[in-house]
Amino acid sequence: MNKSLTEIKTICCIGAGYVGGPTMAVIADRCPKIQVTVVDLNESRIAAWNDQNLNNLPVYEPGLDQVVNRARGRNLHFSTEVDESIAAADMVFISVNTPTKTKGLGSGQASDLRWVEACARQVALCAQGHTIVVEKSTLPVRTAETVKAILQAAQQPQADNQPPKSFVVLSNPEFLAEGTAIKDLESPDRVLIGGEDANAIDALANIYSAWVPKEKILRTNLWSSELSKLSANAFLAQRISSINSVAALCEVTGADVNEVAKAIGTDSRIGPKFLNAGPGFGGSCFQKDILNLVYLCRYFGLPEVADYWQNVVTLNTWQQHRIARLVVKSLFGTVTGKRLALFGFAFKADTNDTREAPAIQIAKDLIEEGAQLAIHDPKVEAEQITNDLQLDASPPPDQASGPSKAALGGEGTWWPSTNISDAVRGADAVLILTEWQQFREIDWDKIAPLMRQPAWVFDARSVVDPSAVLGAGLKLWRVGDGAT
């Protein structure tokens, strides 16, 4: 491709995960003249993307199946042939995982960039002619420097008379949220492109302009773009920690956090979104990206800034422990051997994703206290809960024979429950941790007689109708509601 050309004909996206799959599906859908190939080392993931039964796609997102159905086989392809796809591409997106490091320098905070570096090396090796390399993964500010250094080494004259290679690196972070990914991709608040090469920026902007209004396509330098993604997630998470801190204060003062959120959210400078108090934020991004920001601040000699952001995570963890503690306190100071029904395990509604879900920490705390948890989530599989709790499920207790041996010995256990009535039978409390629609619709008059009295509802998502719960003779705690 001529270096000044701004029309892209072939795209390769490395990483067929949560971001790579849906993002490329929407690009292919909106740009039928561009051939888009999404590659991954994970063969079963690629097989699932190619499955004729659209219910088997590896990512569940409302509307994704229709987008894939329109474009797949036409100009959207999923493949394990990484090298060939890179070689054929005018533009390569890097959309691989960047989790928190679990060992070595920066362990527990810094992002693990081994997969990004591996991609850069693969592109350096396999690309042909001029290639625009786009960072789609969320990356620490100045990562493009590393990517450029690896690519530049490949621009040296080729030993065996191969045609010369050249590269441009752009940053184009993704802002989609789970559960609304297709909506977010089809009508984004903005598309952010960071870079130094005007032609390359035009080339990427041209792709998005097929469906995104031009004024929503923002252009910045590379470092602003990389840092904007971390900052956006930090600001969003900060709002949640802020409202959760206010919720705790509401509970001891008689204020109601929903009323406070409405009162402050109507100030147009603050805005109404992302002010729902809850059990704390979860998901694969917020904690990881803030910890990364904290690490960067320390690295660049800004310990006060690092401490400021660290506190957003600290408060989030505190909120999870706080909820577990108040359940124990309310149940006469002990949950040992008591049955509790835990409703919702996913980190938010409309997803089966449990990464960093607040339910994990809360369930672990209660199990540590000796509770017997019946866990019910409409989308999360028992196997996933076992992995997250690092504890095998026990058989559900037999009503006739009373508490199990483990329960009498004070050992905490859990079992998966596929329906609400089974989960609450004999329970001292219901604990709602995910805002699934079905939990808003529970008939408390039917549930209350199945529970052991006095029985509680702990609503960490503020989804129940208080009068219905109280009217059924149950005690109620709602996050941030000092009135109940």
The residues assigned a catalytic role are: 174, 229, 285
Contact between 18 and ligand UDX by CB under 6 A: the answer reads no
Q: How far is the CB of 221 from ligand NAD (least distance, A)?
A: 20
Which residue is nearest to ligand NAD, using beta carbons? 17
Pick 126 or 275: Cβ nearer ligand UDX: 275
Q: How far is the CB of 440 from ligand NAD (least distance, A)?
A: 25
Pick 172 or 310: Cβ nearer ligand NAD: 172
Give the one residue of 60, 211, 223, 274 binding ligand UDX; rule: CB under 6 A. 274
**If contact means CB under 5 to 8 A according to the sort of partner, which of ligand UDX, ligand NAD, none does residue 16 touch?**
ligand NAD
Q: How far is the CB of 308 from ligand NAD (least distance, A)?
A: 22
Contact between 20 and ligand NAD by CB under 6 A: the answer reads yes
x-marked contacts with ligand UDX along 366-385 as a string, rule CB under 6 A: --------------------
Which span sits near ligand NAD by CB under 6 A: 3-11, 35-43, 325-333, 468-476? Answer: 35-43
User: Using H for helix, E for strand and C for coil, what is the string for the chain?
Assistant: CCCCCCCCCEEEEECCCCCHHHHHHHHHHHCCCCEEEEECCCHHHHHHHCCCCHHHCCCCCCCHHHHHHHHECCCEEEECCHHHHHHHCCEEEECCCCCECCCCCCCCCCECCHHHHHHHHHHHHHCCCEEEEEECCCCCCCHHHHHHHHHHHHCCCCCCCCCCCEEEEEECCCCCCCCCHHHHHHCCCCEEEECCCHHHHHHHHHHHCCCCCHHHEEEECHHHHHHHHHHHHHHHHHHHHHHHHHHHHHHHHCCEHHHHHHHHHCCCCCCCCCCCCCCCCCCCCHHHHHHHHHHHHHHCCCHHHHHHHHHHHHHHHHHHHHHHHHHHHHCCCCCCCCEEEEECCCCCCCCCCCCCCHHHHHHHHHHHCCCEEEEECCCCCHHHHHHHHCCCCCCCCCCCCCCCHHHHCCCCEEEECCCHHHHHCCCCEEEECCCCHHHHCCCHHHHHHHCCCCCEEEECCCCCCHHHHHHCCCEEEECCECCC
Contact between 14 and ligand NAD by CB under 6 A: the answer reads yes
Contact between 319 and ligand NAD by CB under 6 A: the answer reads no
**If contact means CB under 5 to 8 A according to the sort of partner, which of ligand UDX, ligand NAD, none does residue 451 touch?**
none
**If contact means CB under 5 to 8 A according to the sort of partner, which of ligand NAD, ligand UDX, none does residue 58 touch?**
none
x-marked contacts with ligand UDX along 338-357 as a string, rule CB under 6 A: ---------xx---------
The residues in 235-264 that bind ligand UDX, with binding defined as CB under 6 A, are 236, 240
Q: How many residues bind ligand UDX (CB under 6 A)?
A: 19
Which positions touch ligand NAD (CB under 6 A)? 14-20, 39-42, 45, 82, 95-98, 115, 118-119, 137-138, 174, 176, 178, 284-285
Which positions touch ligand UDX (CB under 6 A)? 174-178, 233, 236, 240, 274-276, 278, 281-283, 285-286, 347-348
